[in-house]
Amino acid sequence: MAYELYYWDGIPGRGEFVRLALEEAGADYVDVARKDTAAMMKIMASRTEQHIPFAPPFLRDGNVLISHVANILFYLGPKLGLAPQDETLRFFANGLQLTITDFLVEAHDTHHPIAVSQYYEEQKDPAKARAASFIDERLPKYLGYFERVLRQNPHGDRHSVGDSLSYVDLSLFQVIEGLLYAFPRAMKRYEEKYPALAALRDAVRERPNIKRYLTSERRLAFNEFGIFRHYPELDRDGS
């Protein structure tokens, strides 16, 4: 039976991290809410569902309903051949994915530091202050961390965990794509500063299934409704 992915239509957002894993593995899945948002809302509002999710994305696999990107990938990883065989390494992969989760929250909050319920235009001044601290302090801290993770991998710097591609590598690709879209000035010299991450991003982009996916209509373009938004006034040269 096909996996059912549920996520807001129109933005790559958090759903994209799950999509990339499904696409790389050539898994059979339906992106339910891109055609039927009501079906997604119905599950969230259900009074009988035993495992109600707080928010999308969530995944249905038969009787199993799983929410949160890192949790979905922890579950799917072994099934899709995109997680380490070794259990200890799987927990390390999950830790990395959760660091990506934290990073995404911070990237999102550059344009929404005050309230998700308000428009960006209503919080532009605090957004500028938050984006400045994100670019000056947080961006180099996170990217520097992932660069170190790649370099300290005893199996070589081509993968973040173990000796083969995992969902974490796919997620790091998406994070970099998003940052390049949102903050081109801040990211200008990223290949020089984070060579292992840059090589990972290039390698993922060239994988046959990913390459095919990126040019398909299933791939949603970044835009100003999701996590990564290009507001030139929030961008600035990195330190």
Catalog residues that contact a second copy under the rule CB under 8 A: 47-54, 63-68, 70-71, 74-75, 88, 91-92, 94-95, 98-99, 101-102, 105, 109, 113-118, 123, 126, 129-130, 133, 137, 142, 145, 148-149, 152-154
Give whichever of 52 and 210 is closer to a second copy, judged by the CB atom: 52
Give whichever of 9 and 106 is closer to a second copy, judged by the CB atom: 106
Give whichever of 122 and 202 is closer to a second copy, judged by the CB atom: 122
Minimum distance, C-beta of residue 156 to a second copy, in the bound complex (Å): 12
Assess contact for 149 and 142: CB atoms under 8 A.
no
> CA-to-CA distance for 26 and 114, rounded, in angstroms?
40
Minimum distance, C-beta of residue 29 to a second copy, in the bound complex (Å): 18
Assess contact for 56 and 9: CB atoms under 8 A.
no
> CA-to-CA distance for 126 and 117, rounded, in angstroms?
15
Nearest to 90 by CA among 103, 73, 102: 73
> CA-to-CA distance for 216 and 74, rounded, in angstroms?
26
Give whichever of 164 and 213 is closer to a second copy, judged by the CB atom: 164
Assess contact for 72 and 57: CB atoms under 8 A.
yes
**102: β partners:** none
Minimum distance, C-beta of residue 62 to a second copy, in the bound complex (Å): 10
Give whichever of 81 and 95 is closer to a second copy, judged by the CB atom: 95
Minimum distance, C-beta of residue 68 to a second copy, in the bound complex (Å): 4
Minimum distance, C-beta of residue 64 to a second copy, in the bound complex (Å): 5
Assess contact for 107 and 134: CB atoms under 8 A.
yes
